[in-house]
Structure 1
């Protein structure tokens, strides 16, 4: 799909989904990359199946599918290292994003490049603003959003941070 330097985004299909799961199991905690699943901690077989089912149900049908989401694998130097998604938000032209990267790939600028590429995709599909939520202690995410020119605001709880990034022309 989109590529900049040694970072690319690839639409998550069945083949890519297997690689995405492998990257998550090898380099991320389940709670970092998917909704909670009951049971013992770690990447149990139930959690692996839930990860696959969640991605098949949500991001695979695209922005016009029932979940109104599209998911892309973040590829660095030819290897899947995380994912980024777009979702239709409340207002027309408003798209929400979320990203995760494997622990060993965080803090190296990969997330910023992936979000830059996602911004291009968001414009392509008619987005006018990209929104994201994170926490104040997620320094790499906050820094990436700032580098891209997002306006950040802390929520009243003092922990949650909301970002708005106009996409321009």
Structure 2
């Protein structure tokens, strides 16, 4: 199943399906920056989600220097992965989330591998990620994709060198 994973840049066509899977299968704080809004997937949070993703439509060369991808499985949006340019030349940062029904199936590993290929195509030599020691699934995905992990208290810094 994970072999059917592909990445599609988030745009007006993929934004609403991405919001739908986020609202149905994830918590707002897991998929977007915190906002002042009523709890849960209120109208205000949905608008903030849209605004947040639209702000990144400029991609790696745009003002946010971030490219958001919808993670597609068999034509359906199941989550999001991003690449962001860092100040250090040749270094990008990544982060992702998946809807609950897509977790534990190897989709995250396949998506990260696709993102690493994309990063290399944009000149990256290293991709970094940040997580927490309690996020065992993320640590597993990063490790399976070749990350070297460094722990600082509860924070985990991952670095993947792209060959």
Gaps in structure 1 of 5+ consecutive residues = none
Question: 2:157 matched to 1:159?
Answer: no
Q: What SS does the corresponding residue of 1:143 show, helix, strand or coil?
A: helix
Q: For each residue in 1:78-129, what CA deviation from the matched residue of structure 2 results, as whole angstroms up to 9, or x when unmatched?
A: 2101000000012000000010001221222110000000000000000000
Question: 2:5 matched to 1:7?
Answer: yes
Specify which of 86, 90, 97 is matched with residue 100 of structure 1: 97
- What is the correspondence of 1:70-149 to structure 2 with a 5 Å cutoff? 70-149=67-146
- Aligned partners of 1:139, 1:106: CA distance in 2, in Å? 12
TM-score (norm 2): 0.96
Aligned Cα root-mean-square deviation (Å) = 1.0
Specify which of 14, 17, 20 is matched with residue 15 of structure 2: 17
For these two proteins, the number of residue pairs brought into alignment is: 162
Counterpart position of 2:52? 54
Gaps in structure 2 of 5+ consecutive residues = none
* Structure number having the greater helix percentage: 2
- Aligned partners of 2:96, 2:64: CA distance in 1, in Å? 17
